[in-house]
């Protein structure tokens, strides 16, 4: 069973100025950035991202890609983890300030009506899978179970989210909340309890690789959302490529062919595991 | 208010509606950037450099940000001449977009092959010989350092495409850029494009190794502006054919400086990723102030 033909990039990106509506700390390293949604901006599908210009910059910054966490007529929300310089500056940006974005961009998690989906979100990898869950796409699934894993309780933010999905469960590496262990161990545990037709995953590369090995072992189709360094985010500059194998070996772009890929098409050993 | 003064520029046998182009490698084969930049409003798009055979390019990482710009190590990934002619060139033909096709080759025979295959086709106004890619294994793809070779290749290609604008893009990574520009002029080039990226490197402090697998990469963006202006200025004193200046342009004022240094047209690269309105703003400013173009060579 494969849904490769329905991994699509239908995004019609634009260049917009938004306003910060809310910028709120969720935990030590995570924050929620809510932007005004430009009127002309097309509806972002789950899996797509926006390319954001670091505000108030006094040096050169490439834009930063962030998955859409949620969106309604008025707002577009991002879940951000503080990583380096850019995400540190963004953390301090105040309500009412302008933010320059390009989006929506990239491919989407496939629509799989009638299927039982197990979705694995590690860290900020939660964003596109949460969005899938709260959108209509998930309601067309037979079930949509979201497992959300973090290092420990402090990195999990349970409050302020609409967890009214089919079922959300948590895991922490240290067992301080929910299942103790990494998220792929958790997936394995869940897999033994209930039927799964499709796996989605998003998170750090080592987690995705482990998830891919697991999906292969149990013979279930698996779709992953990847990260990579980007420049244009339009498939033009070929900066953000990953090696894929679909018949021929070739480089495909995470920004435009992805970020969502069929896991079986990726050459995993070539993906950086840091 | 936008005034519509004539700001067209002529490079050899061809006229472009304005002197603002997008640089090779930035906007792919042209179409990719059309969601953000109305490419039909540009003087031209210079498409990604193509080679006779397709190239896979370098393993990632391929882009690395620094506070003054970016280093890249794409390695001339491209679809190859045949696929370009079949799949990419026709995409822009009906769109009234000024296209300049960028080409690179290893040997004389390959330049001949590319020129012969492109010569009878329509859908493009010019060719840009990329004699200056720093990001590849093959020494021979970086022959911009050898004036005799530059002159010979320029002549061979120009003979085959006499009715197109032939630009020769040269590398800043030489001691005397004027020499190389003179060689292109002697070979019959209609213009000199400069500069390509500046060779640069950065290291990962954790591993103690270069960021890129190939070690060095090509440095572009705001930080190379003074280097690019210097090179264009030097070239303008060495040759009398037009110069298409680029390197680090991130504002209207940056573009104006190239015209002062002696450029006839400009190309925008890295900063377009940050500011998709950049070409539009430069074109609007030139329409309003066509005198920006005519400032000629600063002594
Ligand atoms: C499709 C996609 C979706 C993403 N979604 C989210 C999200 O929802 N929430 C979130 O917090 N993060 C997300 N990321 C990662 C996020 O883009 C990086 O953490 C961010 O760019 C780091 O910027 P910085 O200035 O803080 O870090 P620095 O390390 O200072 O950045 C230096 C350069 O590296 C790039 N970079 C560094 N890490 C990454 C990375 N992991 N991926 C891509 N580029 C990187 C930066 O963009 C910048 O160009 C996503 C990445 C991609 C590709
Ligand atoms: C990612 C990237 C890819 C490039 N690819 C090419 C190329 O294929 N051919 C070429 O002639 N120049 C290429 N260049 C160089 C640019 O065309 C331009 O000369 C250079 O980037 C300087 O301009 P800038 O500072 O405005 O970017 C590339 C530059 C970048 C950043
Ligand atoms: S970032 Fe330019 S091709 Fe993906």
Ligand 3 centroid, distance to A67 Cα (angstroms) = 16
Beta bridge partners of A100: A17
DSSP states of B92-160: HHTTT--EEEEE--SSHHHHHHHHHHHTT--S-SEEEEE----S-S-GGGGGGG-HHHHHHHHHHHHHH
For chain B, the domains span 9-295
The CATH class of B9-295 is alpha beta
Structural domains present in chain A:
6-105 (2.40.30.10), 108-226 (3.40.50.80)
pLDDT at A1: 47
Average pLDDT, whole number, for chain A? Answer: 91
Which of B29, B35, B197, B270 is the best residue to mutate to test the A interface, defined by the most A CB atoms within 10 Å of its own CB? B35
Contacts of B292 (CB under 8 A, 6+ apart): B255, B256, B259, B285, B286
CA A141 to chain centre: 19
Query: Has B133 been annotated as catalytic?
Result: yes
The interface pTM score, or ipTM, of the predicted complex is 0.94
Query: Long-range contacts made by residues A148-154, C-beta under 8 angstroms, separation at least 24?
Result: A148/A121, A148/A183, A149/A120, A149/A121, A149/A122, A149/A123, A149/A173, A149/A182, A149/A183, A149/A186, A149/A203, A149/A207, A150/A122, A150/A123, A152/A176, A152/A177, A153/A177, A154/A27, A154/A28
Query: Of A87-91, B94-98, B117-121, which range is least confident?
Result: B94-98
Token pair in block for residue B185: 């002029």
Helix, strand or coil, per DSSP, at residue B85: helix
- Taking CA atoms only, the protein residue closest to ligand 2 atom 26 is B269
A55 CB neighbours in chain B (<8 A) are none
Query: Are the beta carbons of A236 and B70 separated by less than 8 Å?
Result: no
pLDDT at B132: 75
How far apart CA B91 and CA B230 sit, in angstroms, is 37
Using an 8 Å CB-CB cutoff, list chain A residues near B276. Answer: 15, 102
Pairing of strands A14-25, A98-105: antiparallel
* Residues belonging to chain B: 299
Q: Is the pTM of this model over 0.80?
A: yes
Q: How confident is the model at residue A158 (pLDDT cuts 50, 70, 90)?
A: low
CA dihedral B174, B180, B182, B184 (to 10 degrees): -150
Query: Could you tell me which of B96, B281, B77 has the C-alpha nearest to residue A236?
Result: B77
Retrieve residue B243's tokens. 């110069």
Q: Which residue in A235, A236, A240 is closest to B26 by CB distance?
A: A236
Residue B276: which of A61, A102, A235 has the nearest Cβ?
Answer: A102
- pLDDT mean across residues, chain B: 93
Any idea which residue has 């002696």 for tokens? B262
Pairing status of strand A75-81 against strand B191-194: unpaired
Q: Using the structure block, give the residue that is written with the tokens 């342009």.
A: B249
Contact state of B56 with A53 under an 8 Å Cβ cutoff: no
pLDDT digits (tens, 9 = 90+) for B127-138: 999 987 666 666
**Which of A15, A38, A60, A205 should be substituted to probe chain B, the one whose Cβ sees the most B Cβ atoms within 10 Å?**
A60
Answer yes or no: is the C-beta of A66 below 6 A from any ligand 1 atom. yes
Residue-wise pLDDT tens digits, A42-90: 999 999 999 999 998 889 999 999 999 999 999 999 999 999 999 999 9
| Distance from residue A56's CA to the centre of ligand 3 (Å) | 24
> Which chain B residues touch A272 with a CB distance below 8 Å?
60-61
Residues linked to residue A19 through DSSP beta bridges, in sequence order: A98
Beta carbons of A231 and B63 less than 8 Å apart: yes
Q: Which of B22, B27, B46, B133 is catalytic?
A: B133
Query: DSSP class of residue A43?
Result: P
Asked if the Cβ–Cβ distance from A62 to B26 is below 8 Å, we say no
Which of B196, B219, B255 has the most ligand 2 atoms within 8 A of CB, as the residue to mutate?
A: B196
């Amino acid at each position: 069973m494969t849904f490769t033909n329905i991994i699509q990039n239908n995004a019609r990106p634009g260049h917009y100025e938004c306003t910060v509506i809310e910028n709120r700390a969720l935990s030590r390293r995570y924050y929620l950035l809510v932007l005004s949604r430009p009127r002309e901006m097309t509806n972002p599908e789950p899996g797509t991202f926006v390319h954001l210009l670091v505000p108030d910059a006094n040096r050169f910054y490439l834009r930063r890609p962030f998955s859409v966490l949620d969106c309604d007529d008025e707002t577009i929300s991002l879940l951000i983890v503080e990583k380096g310089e850019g995400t540190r500056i963004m953390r301090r940006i105040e309500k009412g300030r302008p933010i320059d974005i390009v989006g929506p961009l990239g491919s989407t998690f496939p629509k799989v009506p009638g299927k039982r989906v197990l979705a694995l979100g590690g860290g900020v990898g939660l964003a596109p899978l949460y969005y899938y869950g709260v959108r209509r796409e998930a309601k067309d699934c037979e079930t949509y179970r979201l497992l959300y894993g973090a290092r420990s309780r402090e990195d999990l933010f349970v409050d302020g989210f609409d967890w009214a999905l089919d079922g959300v469960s948590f895991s922490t590496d240290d067992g301080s909340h929910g299942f103790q262990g990494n998220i792929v161990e958790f997936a394995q545990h869940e897999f033994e309890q209930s039927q799964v037709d499709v796996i989605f995953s998003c998170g750090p590369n080592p987690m995705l690789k482990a998830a891919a090995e697991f999906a292969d072992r149990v013979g279930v189709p698996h779709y992953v959302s990847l990260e990579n360094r980007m420049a244009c985010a339009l498939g033009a500059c070929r900066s953000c490529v990953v090696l894929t194998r679909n018949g021929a070996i070739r480089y495909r772009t995470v920004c435009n062919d992805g970020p969502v890929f069929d896991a079986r098409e990726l050459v995993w050993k070539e993906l950086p595991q840091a | 208010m936008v005034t519509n003064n004539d700001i067209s520029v002529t490079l050899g046998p061809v006229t472009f509606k304005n002197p603002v182009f997008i640089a090779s490698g930035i906007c792919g084969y042209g179409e990719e950037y059309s969601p953000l930049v109305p490419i039909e409003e540009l003087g031209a798009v210079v498409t990604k450099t193509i080679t006779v055979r397709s190239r896979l390019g370098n393993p990632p990482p391929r882009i690395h940000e620094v506070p003054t710009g970016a280093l890249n190590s794409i390695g001339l990934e491209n679809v190859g001449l045949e696929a370009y002619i079949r799949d990419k060139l026709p995409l822009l033909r009906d769109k009234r977009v000024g296209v300049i096709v960028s080409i690179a080759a290893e040997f004389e025979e390959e330049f001949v092959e590319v020129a012969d295959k492109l010569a009878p086709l329509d859908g493009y106004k010019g060719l840009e010989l990329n004699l200056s890619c720093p990001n590849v294994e093959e020494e021979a793809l970086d022959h911009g350092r050898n004036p005799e070779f530059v002159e010979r290749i320029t002549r061979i290609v120009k003979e085959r495409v006499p009715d197109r604008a032939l630009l020769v893009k040269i590398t800043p990574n030489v001691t005397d850029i004027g020499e190389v520009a003179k060689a292109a002029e002697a070979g019959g080039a209609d213009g000199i494009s400069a500069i390509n990226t500046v060779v640069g490197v950065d290291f990962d402090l954790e591993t103690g190794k270069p960021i890129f697998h190939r070690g060095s990469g090509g440095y572009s963006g705001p930080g190379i502006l003074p280097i690019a202006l210097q090179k264009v200025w030097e070239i303008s004193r060495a040759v009398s054919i037009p110069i298409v200046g680029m390197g680090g342009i991130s504002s209207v004022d940056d573009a104006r400086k190239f015209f002062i240094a002696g450029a006839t047209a400009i190309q925008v690269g890295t900063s377009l990723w940050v500011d998709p309105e950049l070409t539009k703003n430069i074109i609007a400013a030139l329409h309003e102030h066509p005198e920006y173009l005519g400032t000629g060579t600063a002594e």
